[in-house]
Chains A and B, each alone.
Chain A
């Protein structure tokens, strides 16, 4: 890694010049380029873009220089009769051949960078990223931290979105649990999706990879510096598409180790309460939280849903009828609809809690209390 992440001066100047020429808003305060790269690849892409812009700007100026000259010189007001020529094989050959050469010159460096981008071998850590409507699931498959898995959901409160509260600094780009990775390690990301196509896009890492339902795709990055990098889902995935951000926290090796230790502790704590017998109030409290994170996007906090796309749970036959049907719906989802299977996403306790919540919240007063063991029993 001897290569220095060093700005290339010529294209940057040319671009700047082109921008001032073309833009009405080229003020320094505005961001008019890619985000500050955090990986070598991102830096290469950054420079590539500048080079390409520079070449385009030069061609642009040449072509329109000629055109502008002609517009001024050959306008009728400046006198002179129109020529009648309409062919010149030599010129035509030339302006076919020259662009070909330029294009080859452009394609060459891009090809080199692309080959680097697509080489995801020899990764230090492999993480599976699953897109859900509308959250991300992270699954540390290999390397340091193996076995850690969690969901990452938008943390911006609805009030900020609705304009009822002032918007925070990281409005829409904040999550409850960021993806944490160590600096200077090659992280291989496997993307997949549970429902529709999503895309895992973090500009500063120059990573954008679609998460395709039922397939595994891969990409990788190696962050050069610590920091928090933010991105968003970039494939239209339904109504919450604008609300599934990605936050990647790149930390030092020590901090990473500490983070892993903490995660493992929590997992053990989670396993302990499996055999516990829960009270209604406890379950309601926990259930409300689970509901808020996982269900309210569709079924709404009020339980009224957005019919007909998303049915109301308040008064729903399923949520007030036999428990078995309710559990089955939540565990297995309803194939072909937005109602996803939560079996793999939530623990037995969470599912028991959220079902209990749904069966007792709003006007649903069934009084049913579900225990995690009941869920475990029906899990396939």
Chain B
């Protein structure tokens, strides 16, 4: 046994072995973050393929079936490969630091959660190269189309199973860590907002990932074993899938945004030099969003033909979510109010987040109105809506987090000038890419089409140009991060004078083991 008295291993393999076998939350966090960035590039390149094909009307680069496959993989990879692992990476790195724990509750399990991502992503990516290609069904995997697909669909199904196992295990680990490993005195109503939002997110993951696994299992048996879940002739119903999927799918979008809310709730007070306004109501608002999120899934199915009473129920429930989300937005603004604001890059991304996420929230609200959604469902308006929430929301918050905590991770300051440039380029190109998509949707351009009528040409061209700008700007991000890892001005333990919390009490870079003796919080 290599364990020292406090249970930590001092022996650690060096070189690549360290990364394969590690049980250390910081190492695993780093693995998650790099994995997520690789997936982000992959998903991004797919997005660029989509935008290249849509640059002009007519078919140029992709066969229609290839186009569908790329769209599907773009969605799946961005959501499950880029955003979720990025947030798990932050959670791994920061939650033990924030609550004064020596590590995550289960080190080996933690490592497994990460390594499961590799087979899952391999299966997804291989599916592009098998006979018949990947599943060209959209990330929602609706049957009967998904029952029709070839072997690529089976690969996707098993990839989803493995992703599910990974994120469930990861979430169990996070919940256990937060509930059980807090330092003495770190009561639940003292834990930092990022940890709080992750606790709630982890609950969502455990509640809905198994349902998604069940849904794809039903597709699998319908495909290969003659069951009739989704076949009317056998008494089943394709719409059943949509219910099961969106029971998972809507909470999933909050899984994608809640940790982001947490990050923003840490960054805004730090650069306002003022405590977070309304901590308690933030906690309750997050909880309400999560709970309400279980009752609104039908808003993705307004045109599938549900009874009008159901439509009304889902509409009202969906609109209600604006209330707790509004509370969060107002709290952030009240935090800034009469603070002492500075605008380093994390803060810029946080402000960009608030600004654009609210726009995404408003377009969501418009979509929630059933009568209006009947005109907008499955158009680019929806695409615009969810990129405002997921790119300007989740992705921007991830950028904010990276810049905020990079000094803690690497011990160096990043290049502030370049980082600000990265922010502005991202901000501008993001809007060029996605703002115009609202107009496309209003005018009636359906999503998931490889080719379009002539009246949509201008905005598509603008959007494609924006997308390439947005993509190229991310090379700058990669450069900034690598330079920061390699060197740069040394960072103090607390590089941001307004920041508060235990994570800033350990040195920068954070040593391999921290809080071996738990701090006592007063």
Contacts and interface: CB of A to CB of B under 8 A. Distances in A.
A309 B366 CA distance: 39
Contacts of B518: none
A201 B274 CA distance: 51
Interface residues of B, number: 104
B1 interface: no
Contact of A110 (B232, B372, B436, B446): B372
A75 B371 contact: no
A3 to B, nearest CB: 16
Interface string A100-142: 1001001100110111011000000000000000000000000
A92 B442 contact: no
A239 B443 contact: no
A209 B311 contact: no
B509 interface: no
A96 B281 CA distance: 10
A8 to B, nearest CB: 15
A17 interface: no
A297 B168 CA distance: 42
B311 A114 contact: yes
B362 interface: yes
Given A74-B336, A306-B65, A236 B145 contact: yes
B455 interface: yes
Interface in B297-327: 303-305, 308, 311-312, 315-316, 319-320, 322-323, 326-327
A30 B374 contact: no
A60 B132 CA distance: 47
B358 A234 contact: no
Contacts of A60: 358-359, 362
A240 B59 CA distance: 12
B372 A106 contact: no
A220 to B, nearest CB: 12
A111 B372 CA distance: 11
A75 B343 contact: yes
Interface in B275-311: 275-281, 303-305, 308, 311
Contacts of B278: 86-87, 92
Contact of A212 (B65, B304, B358, B459): B304
Contacts, number: 302
Nearest to B444: A203
Contacts of A241: 64, 68, 448-449
Nearest to B339: A82
B439 A49 contact: no
A117 B372 contact: no
B131 interface: yes
Contacts of A213: 144, 231-232, 238
Given A208-B375, A241-B448, A82 B336 contact: no
A350 B173 CA distance: 63
A250 B454 CA distance: 23
A74 B341 contact: yes
Nearest to A162: B59
B512 interface: no
Interface string B365-391: 110011110110111000000000000
Interface string B103-133: 0000000000000000000000000000111
Interface stretch (A170-178, A276-284, A315-323, A360-368): A170-178
B306 to A, nearest CB: 10
Contact of A100 (B150, B277, B323, B336): B323
Contacts of A243: 64, 451
B488 interface: no
Contacts of B58: 160-163, 167
A212 to B, nearest CB: 6
Contacts of B451: 161, 172, 242-243
Given A53-B366, A70-B341, A242-B451, A161 B59 contact: yes
In the A-B complex, the 9 residue pairs with the closest CB atoms: A214-B232, A242-B449, A217-B305, A203-B444, A239-B65, A82-B340, A83-B338, A234-B378, A56-B362
8 contacts: A76-B341, A103-B322, A161-B451, A162-B59, A191-B305, A209-B303, A309-B65, A336-B147
Given A67-B336, A82-B272, A234-B447, 15 more contacts: A24-B435, A33-B442, A44-B371, A45-B371, A82-B273, A107-B319, A107-B369, A111-B312, A111-B315, A169-B454, A172-B452, A191-B305, A201-B446, A207-B374, A218-B305
Interface of A: 22-25, 30-35, 42, 44-45, 48-49, 52-53, 56, 59-60, 63-64, 66-67, 70-71, 74-76, 80-88, 91-92, 95-96, 99-100, 103, 106-107, 110-111, 113-115, 117-118, 160-163, 167, 169-173, 191, 195-197, 199, 201, 203, 206-210, 212-215, 217-218, 230-243, 306-309, 336-338
